[in-house]
Structure 1
């Protein structure tokens, strides 16, 4: 190790910086601080000391404290030496108080607080001697993530209390991101709007809301300097409450609105709100709009959105609109929709139109390309392809069959796919598949290298064959499968079929629906699989 340090120390400063930037700031400080005078001078650079993430973050959104030896060294040796250089700290709930009280942070202006529990709220906001008194006027940027590692440890009533605490505690706050990376966590909802929630300093707000009315409360003038607002709303629907949705919002320049549930009041609620944003520069919309007589297309957007925003230069959207077409004859085609975006100056626009005769519903999906979301829903046989590197979750649905070639296209278009749900009760037309690897070599075996969850609970039996036959699909290891027990029993020939054995052996967990008693040899077919 000593010899390696001598070699490291012989490198020019520029090369050393390039190497150290490949590591996290925590790794650099913990590994090299105190090694020698020259390395100390380099690692004390602003690059490695201005923003510290003193916690462990996993890809699933869970956060954990640093190990005790690392945390002890930071609190006893490292932080006291670099405290004046730190401008931002990302902290996890169980260790945040200790870290914040280890030393003073005269230049700290940003905080990210993760894995918040109700019991930490008192430590953070109610004890003025320990926290609020020190940072009351100092913190300008704040992130509050209430994800508690999959557990709902914060009550619904506590969310607005925390939100209120923030604005009574940090009087100079300019940036606030208040949300949760967990869907289990309750969202912000004001049962009784509080007059304490206001700020003449706040410039940017990101928040998850329960209802559309909460969005209107936030836009009622209580944040009179707000120029950026990102809201994710669970339910957008009419309310009996009388809330102002007419006063202009001249300060607002950037607005993002997303909702993953059906919206039946797009024209009555969302458009009036957008019409208030006369100076908007950037607009992001992610919506599922139902119960309209016509699809949302380029013409509708120009008339009802763009014409109200003369300064708009960035418009990114992902919008599904649904209509009941009943016995209509002149139905719009995808080409008709695409023509409405002919002179659209914002990005490349992709459209996809589908009609489902059984339920008499039409679907029009329009989105900006390149696609930026992590999910892509309601993909049909009309899917036009493309490369979607951001997407991790998709849902396939159609009243027409999905053939093998369609799944090839899906695997190529979504190379980093992690969760796949298939909803299709139509049997496949092309039944020619290989029952052995010496037959029909032209049929490509499909790979989903990153897949970890597969939902086949609402499919025809052909799609269970599509994914379990090793002559059609090669599943990766550790897949969580949701499936009908009776159909799987039939496809695997009572769990004895060799063609399905390979993929079944790769399953980490199976959640069965309509489960009956298992045969005695069942466990021999799933040697390493958890059965739910």
Structure 2
């Protein structure tokens, strides 16, 4: 038989399956079901292709056929559904799903809870006992801040009460602003309580709410991922201090500055003696000493004999006084000589303002958020970082942003804080020097509000920087007017052309020139 005579159907089932696994299961089901070939029909209905169905970001024509025809063929095999919240009615009215246990809803908001997660909803009645794993990707924004206590009762508490067999609850945000944190202060201990939940990922308003969740109301919790908005919020309540022997995984993230690290976070970690995996992302201010390898060993690791994985990104920002020695990067690196979990990166930056910033982190860097990067950032790839804040009192020159664009290739959200003017700007004018154009391919949010005017020009001038996806800009209005020559300068027009939201410190003075310069700006 000549090679040219071999067709797809001549291949054995094992080889066909190996080839089809390279495709998305949506493509396989759409292409092979009902093509008048019994063999392909049977293969397409294999559990490999029907166990998990992801109906997000697909064409309306494909979606329509799925809801009308394909779901009726495979509904009995589906265990995991991923769909946008707007599709709940279409998908669940198409068929029942007797094996469905995992549900992920994208663009979720509180209206979904009120509409579907109740006993009067036919869809709610269908899923309330089946779902054991629930993931909610929020689409709420912070434009209107809800009353957190009401939100906790009406949304979070209802979710955990409604799903009777829920073991894993994962609530995420669609952006860095995320979603309203749970607030349990002055609420009964029966609120957000479960005797079967073993895994929780959630935001909380304060560190006190983190402690409330660990006061016994979730007595089977083994994995806890929490992002805290405010660690330092005071509390008059004496919280439960019992050891959390069942806790195997703990992840704590706080993007706000923390002044009570030693009094609050360290005691909580000491309550987790059986922890096997720990993740910390923190910025600590004004403690007595830098957080280095010696501190982590003596204050955390010796209390966790079963710990196997320790991932961290920790910044200590201290005022320099007589008790603090001047240390180099090598000095800090040496303190990690006895910690062998992962490779460690570190930087120490001393400022003329009598302060020091010490940054220690595990490599490879796996966090999507990175704070307080300075001119002295190490030669490291931050391939997972989407949200970044940079700050310094020395100017960020053009070469710095070249390094940054290569080091953080997927960057979407950038905040620049630097009141010192760029030096290269005046050199460029004097020497008529040109620079290679920097490209941030994925950047959609930029804040230069708290920076010198030279950074406004650095990013908006298309001979320096190319921002093809920039849709949101936070900026000083007078600087913007100056750099764009009252919205007439051609060299800054390109990087402004796709902006849909402009945030300034003053009310925008609407004019024809402004809207001509920002054609997509909402009125």
**TM bracket, shorter-chain basis:** 0.7 to 0.9
- Distance change in 2, residues 1:520/1:119 (3 Å): closer
Task: Determine if contact 1:229/1:254 at 8 Å carries over to the other structure.
Answer: yes
Task: Determine if contact 1:389/1:415 at 8 Å carries over to the other structure.
Answer: yes
Task: Determine if contact 1:167/1:196 at 8 Å carries over to the other structure.
Answer: no
Mapping for residues 295-306 of structure 1, pairs under 5 Å: 295-306=290-301
Mapping for residues 429-508 of structure 1, pairs under 5 Å: 429-431=423-425, 433-434=427-428, 440=433, 443-476=435-468, 478=470, 480-491=472-483, 500-501=491-492, 503-504=494-495, 508=499
Question: Which residue among 48, 69, 73 is the counterpart of 1:77?
Answer: 69
Question: How far off its partner does 1:97 sit?
Answer: 4.2
Question: How far off its partner does 1:205 sit?
Answer: 1.4
- Distance change in 2, residues 1:274/1:245 (3 Å): farther
Q: Secondary structure at the match of 2:219?
A: coil
The answer for the alignment partner of 1:214 in structure 2 is: 209
Question: Which residue among 388, 403, 409 is the counterpart of 1:409?
Answer: 403
Question: Which residue among 258, 270, 273 is the counterpart of 1:275?
Answer: 270
Query: What residue ranges of structure 2 are gaps of 5+ in the alignment?
Result: 1-5
Mapping for residues 312-327 of structure 1, pairs under 5 Å: 312-325=307-320
1:33 aligns with 2:28: no
Q: Secondary structure at the match of 1:231?
A: strand
Question: How far off its partner does 1:219 sit?
Answer: 1.6
1:393 aligns with 2:394: no
Task: Determine if contact 2:172/2:178 at 8 Å carries over to the other structure.
Answer: no
Query: What residue ranges of structure 1 are gaps of 5+ in the alignment?
Result: 1-5, 58-65
The answer for the alignment partner of 2:105 in structure 1 is: 113
Deviations 1:284-317 (A, max 9, x none): 0011212312111111111110010011111001
Residue range with higher mean Cα deviation, 487-496 or 407-416 = 487-496
The answer for the alignment partner of 1:286 in structure 2 is: 281
- Distance in 2 (CA, whole Å) between partners of 1:454 and 1:73 is 40
- Distance change in 2, residues 1:338/1:15 (3 Å): same
Residue range with higher mean Cα deviation, 273-282 or 414-423 = 414-423
Q: Secondary structure at the match of 1:247?
A: coil
TM-score, with length taken from structure 2: 0.85
Task: Determine if contact 1:477/1:506 at 8 Å carries over to the other structure.
Answer: no
Task: Determine if contact 2:81/2:103 at 8 Å carries over to the other structure.
Answer: yes
- Distance in 2 (CA, whole Å) between partners of 1:530 and 1:198 is 45
Question: How far off its partner does 1:112 sit?
Answer: 1.9
- Distance in 2 (CA, whole Å) between partners of 1:21 and 1:30 is 14
Deviations 1:47-85 (A, max 9, x none): 21111123438xxxxxxxx84x65554344322322221
The answer for the alignment partner of 1:236 in structure 2 is: 231
Deviations 1:24-65 (A, max 9, x none): 4334323432112122112101121111123438xxxxxxxx
The answer for the alignment partner of 1:126 in structure 2 is: 118
Q: Secondary structure at the match of 2:450?
A: strand
Task: Determine if contact 1:379/1:397 at 8 Å carries over to the other structure.
Answer: yes
Question: Which residue among 62, 86, 90 is the counterpart of 2:82?
Answer: 90
- Distance in 2 (CA, whole Å) between partners of 1:467 and 1:114 is 33
Mapping for residues 35-434 of structure 1, pairs under 5 Å: 35-36=35-36, 37-56=38-57, 67=60, 70=62, 72-127=64-119, 130-131=122-123, 133-148=125-140, 156=148, 157-182=150-175, 183=177, 185-190=179-184, 191-195=186-190, 197-325=192-320, 330-358=325-353, 360-431=354-425, 433-434=427-428
- Distance in 2 (CA, whole Å) between partners of 1:318 and 1:413 is 17
Task: Determine if contact 1:217/1:243 at 8 Å carries over to the other structure.
Answer: no
Task: Determine if contact 1:289/1:321 at 8 Å carries over to the other structure.
Answer: yes
Task: Determine if contact 2:110/2:155 at 8 Å carries over to the other structure.
Answer: no
TM-score, with length taken from structure 1: 0.84
- Distance in 1 (CA, whole Å) between partners of 2:425 and 2:124 is 68
Question: How far off its partner does 1:253 sit?
Answer: 0.9
Q: Secondary structure at the match of 2:279?
A: strand
- Distance change in 2, residues 1:16/1:96 (3 Å): same
Q: Secondary structure at the match of 1:126?
A: coil
